Structure 1
């Protein structure tokens, strides 16, 4: 079994949520598999929302050497949440992701394509590491479990 490691990036500047006026926090980081660059993640959450969830994007692909390798990458929208007993994950449609951009839109998988993708289990495995090891995300999820 390969070893997955997370390198947390610096927190991003927070901003005000358009729908509730409270603060949206966001962060990003890098995923390594067996000490090689493997994926990146971006994630955000809002304390003011009734649904305590983290909206994340996981980008996974082949070579990470330069921008020319980006066409080989796939973008997955993942919803991360915590129940009273475990972390939960769900694939998102591109339009549900807070991380879609004109640069990533063509590579962002639909929910149906993500669920059929051969790396689906790996994406959920990475999301579990993010939920458990990304300190700010873990603190948010632990403080806001959803009743199961």
Structure 2
């Protein structure tokens, strides 16, 4: 069973439209063990509602474990009618491409073939159902 720990959102101003960019940091636990971290961001007022995110999976919860024990999966979420769509993106297209503690950031093709891809989609399912900030954004 997954449980998400929600940090307070932070905001900044979008350079293109001066609207609020909302950034989220979330910690995911599986059976009460540290399982993943995700970052997500979206901008209010853009013509297309699109969330950009990254999920880092692997070993968390211990100072002895380094980034080499984790992999990161960059993605986007948007609506198609009443359905959520999740698309993986290449590392260079992620706003977190410079963040090293998340682990090696996979490109789309490698991420889709990775054995952890089902965990990524499981977490994105919870994001659009359980993360009230994300639910409100897409409402």
Equivalent position of 1:41 in the other structure: 38
In the alignment, the residues of structure 2 paired with residue 45 and residue 138 of structure 1 have an alpha-carbon distance, to the nearest angstrom, of 12
In the alignment, the residues of structure 1 paired with residue 46 and residue 22 of structure 2 have an alpha-carbon distance, to the nearest angstrom, of 12
| Residue 78 in structure 1 maps to residue 75 in structure 2 | yes
Equivalent position of 1:5 in the other structure: 3
How many pairs are equivalent? 139
Q: Give the number of the structure whose residues are more often strand, by fraction.
A: 2
| Residue 138 in structure 1 maps to residue 135 in structure 2 | yes
Aligned partners of 2:67 and 2:100 also within 8 Å: no
Question: How does the TM-score come out when normalised to structure 2?
Answer: 0.91
SS of 2:66 mapped into structure 1: helix
Structure 1: stretches of 5+ with no match in the other structure: 143-148
Deviations 1:14-38 (A, max 9, x none): 1111222211111111111111110
Deviations 1:79-100 (A, max 9, x none): 0122332221010111221222
| Residue 91 in structure 1 maps to residue 88 in structure 2 | yes
Q: How large is the RMSD of aligned CA atoms in angstroms?
A: 1.7
Equivalent position of 1:146 in the other structure: none
Aligned partners of 2:6 and 2:25 also within 8 Å: yes
In the alignment, the residues of structure 2 paired with residue 9 and residue 105 of structure 1 have an alpha-carbon distance, to the nearest angstrom, of 17
Q: Which has the higher contact order (CA 8 A, sep 6+)?
A: 1
Structure 2: stretches of 5+ with no match in the other structure: none
| Residue 107 in structure 1 maps to residue 85 in structure 2 | no
Runs of 4+ in 1 over 3 A off after TM superposition: none
In the alignment, the residues of structure 1 paired with residue 23 and residue 3 of structure 2 have an alpha-carbon distance, to the nearest angstrom, of 20
Question: How does the TM-score come out when normalised to structure 1?
Answer: 0.86
Equivalent position of 1:145 in the other structure: none
Aligned partners of 1:75 and 1:104 also within 8 Å: no
